[in-house]
Structure 1
Amino acid sequence: MTEAPKPLLLPDGRPAAHAWTLDPALRHLNHGSFGAVPLAAQQAQQRLREQMDRAPVVWFPALPKRVAAARAEVAAFLRVPAHDLALVPNASAGASVVFGNLPHRPGGEVLVTDHGYGAVTMGAERLARRWGGQVRTAHVPLHATAAEATAAILAEVTDRTALIVLDHITSATARWLPVEQIGRAAREAGIPLLIDGAHVPGLAEDPLAGLEFDVWVGNLHKFGCAPRGASALVVRSELRDRLYPLIDSWGAQEPFPERFDTQGTIDVTGYLAAPTALDFVERTWGWPTARDYLTALADHAELIIGAAFAELTGGSAAVDVGMPVNALRLVRLPEGLARTRLEADALRDRVAAELGVEAAFTSFGGAGYFRLSTHVYNTAADYEYFAEHCVPVLVDWARRARA
């Protein structure tokens, strides 16, 4: 059994959780779905909203310059040139920008994997229908190594493949996919590549270094802790000249990415406050220290929760994930729980309502999983509580479901 890492503290000695406003009556073990915004960023966003409402005629004409400044800070965090990066509401919106602006390919196919995020895959399906083509789905076993996953994906490429959509980190299965290898192959074949990096900002030091892709999108409001509705869209090909925001506004005639800086009367204070959230973690602990803590805590949580299930069921709850993520892990649920996405969502809601825990449950291939995720405000005690108090209830629910 791994030793539990010591909790992170604020500079004044208080637990890290005191920098957030999360309800102390709940255990928050699902940072990966919607994130959690530190108080410093909440306050920064509220001050911005107050400025907007005090003088809207002053605020909105000056907004593009403020968005551009925030965009430059986000670009520095991701270590990419500011002229390659636009700000969008979320990763799905960034994917929709691509789907809505690609040149028409009659009969073109879109290649996805069976690990893809549902909303993005739905967008790919709509694009394929407009083209009169189809979506091809590569099956990647959960245990597949980088080489095995690459082979499985490239085996589905045909002469009709007009776009590849690939997760950087998968949502339902908590694994990396081999974006480096697929990127090189896509570039050689002249096939555009869209990488959905929704979970990546904050979890990797230099996540786009050396990658070949056309468009990459990543949420700042997940592990980056920015206010929700703040994401980065990065372009590294001639597609930049074709990409326009989902809403036409007065910046439409500007070049990329400036045309994304003007979006009418949309509240973009989340964009402007995003650097405050990123800087808060950096100033308080440093992102390398934060990532080390997230990894150590996930190691500990995965083992103790898996052991708790195994003790009660007599079977292993360990999951062989081919390219595991530092802060996201899977623990197999007993048979009968979360066999589908709808069942997983229902279990999430029941656990929150009856057990007082915000947790993530996912399904893949007909099996259900507890997807644990860690952040700096979590402690080993959070996951020990889950192992002691929630695992026995989940095992009982599974037995009842099978009866």
Structure 2
Amino acid sequence: MNQASWALVPKGRWIEVAGTPLTSLDAELKAALPGHRDLGSQGLAGVINAYSGVAVDAPHARWWAFGGGHADSSNNGLYRFDMAQMRWSIEQLPDNSANWAGANYVDPYSYYPPAAGYARAHPDSDVFWDEFFDPDRPAASTGNPVARHTYNGLIYNPDLQEVAFGVRRMWRYSLRTRTWKRHTPFNTPGATYSGETGYGGAAGWTFWDEVTHRYFFGPTENYNYSRWWSFDTDDQSWKWEVVTPPAWFFAQMVRVDRKLVSFPNPQSAYGTFPPRLVTYDLDTTKWETLLLESNLELSRCYSEYFEGMILTYVASRQRYVAAFRYDGDGDGAFEYRTFEIDPGTLELREAPEYEAGAFGGWHDLVKNRFFYLATLDALIYVRKGEENLRVFRLP
């Protein structure tokens, strides 16, 4: 893609870019690892589809995917998409499943049994079941993280040139050395690692603060009472944080300047109606709730289990674009509706101009795979691993 070809992209509607699914790498992957087999049910598509997000390098219009886990995919490779080339590539190959023979490695594929067994037998070690540690199979003992749902927890750090996440333990992939490094929260031995000792669960966020050189990890997306925690990359210290209220139901969160801004699903059961923004100031460490003016009716808000909140910030318009299930027609369908939030007037209005219905609509497990690229003034939507990229060039 270049300036001339981008100028040909129509504005104000979603387009689908042919030949851009993650699964387009399947042949290349099998050629690089002869005999490799994904033990999960979804194959390569499951890296994205299994409750996983992406790590975005917005200035360079590229992003990374790492995910899978549970029954969906055992693939723990790291994959990169570059909009300049409009294609996926392999950043790091996954571990070879042939090396796991006899390890009793079955669903969930975010749990490696030999590592778990070692942690139980050696309670003072820092080994945990989220890594490939295997004394009996040296070829399998790579020290790489096992596949897992990354939710919104995957992030690109431009200062340290790495991709990181805080799902379960903290893992950092150096784009310079092409190696993984792990950190156990609060230096807790793997055998006793838990929510009270920093276990990040499997549904949190990760943010990087370039001023304090700290990573922030939030396990609060799925009504998890475990607290936020942070890691200082300068002195390797850990700290408990209070970034959001102790518990709420599903939400999405984005960073805008020095604030983290979250939009919980509007409903009554968990105190998120009227609709609101919840903000956290990285400098003052204070959070606040901003109630929004809207025409939403509580009776039409979806009150069942729901983790399909969608949110991004469009800097060129100084607006948020959000989507969630709402019974707008009053027929009980609770279809996805798209909205725009004005942070200046604190108004939420329906915004059908951003609807993605022509390409399958919003997806309940999209996580942070819907985002804005300022360099292109466009919205990007990575819907599923087996589907093409969606692009919305702003008018």
Q: What's the TM-score bracket when you normalise by the shorter of the two chains?
A: under 0.3
Query: Larger RCO: Structure 1 or Structure 2 (Cα < 8 Å, ≥ 6 residues apart)?
Result: 1
Relative to its length, the structure with more helix (as a share) is 1
Q: Which has the higher strand share?
A: 2
TM-score between both structures, scaled by the size of structure 1:
0.25
Query: What is the TM-score normalised by the length of structure 2?
Result: 0.26
